[in-house]
């Protein structure tokens, strides 16, 4: 188990700058927030089905869409994890004028 944790903590070198990685992480976080909002706005469907007020057949399209949103969230979380494992290219410091 220790070896696995050590491997997970290794950083993968990349040619991207830290700000570029951060921007990509922000994009993924935006996707997560969007999909979570969509899921929240359709939570009533599960309640209606559980209470017998609706059937899965009636909401089959929306149920499939909700699954896609959950898949999108999981993919975005995986991408964030991958991006966080990257070691950014060192930022070039501007040369000092004499």
Rounded alpha-carbon distances, angstroms, from residue 17 to 14, 92, 95: 8, 10, 18
Query: Radius of gyration over alpha carbons of the chain, in Å?
Result: 21
| 34 and 86 Cβ atoms separated by less than 8 Å | no
- DSSP H or E run through 47: helix 43-50
Q: What is the pTM of this model?
A: 0.78
d(CA 70, CA 6): 30
| Residue-range domain boundaries for the chain | 15-85
Q: Pairing mode, if any, of strands 12-13 and 86-87?
A: parallel
Tens of pLDDT, residue by residue over 22-78, are 999 999 999 999 999 999 999 999 999 999 999 999 999 999 999 999 999 999 999
Q: pLDDT band at residue 95, thresholds of 50, 70 and 90?
A: low
Q: Which residue has the tokens 């070896």?
A: 3
């Amino acid at each position: 188990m220790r070896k696995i944790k050590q491997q997970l903590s290794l950083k993968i070198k990349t040619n991207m700058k830290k700000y570029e990685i951060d921007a990509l992480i922000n994009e993924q976080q935006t996707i997560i927030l969007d999909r979570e909002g969509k899921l929240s706005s359709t939570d009533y469907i599960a309640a209606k089905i559980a209470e017998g007020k609706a059937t899965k057949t009636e909401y089959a399209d929306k149920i499939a869409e909700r699954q896609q949103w959950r898949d999108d969230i999981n993919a975005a979380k995986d991408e964030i994890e991958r991006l966080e494992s990257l070691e950014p290219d060192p930022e070039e410091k501007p040369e000092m004028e004499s």
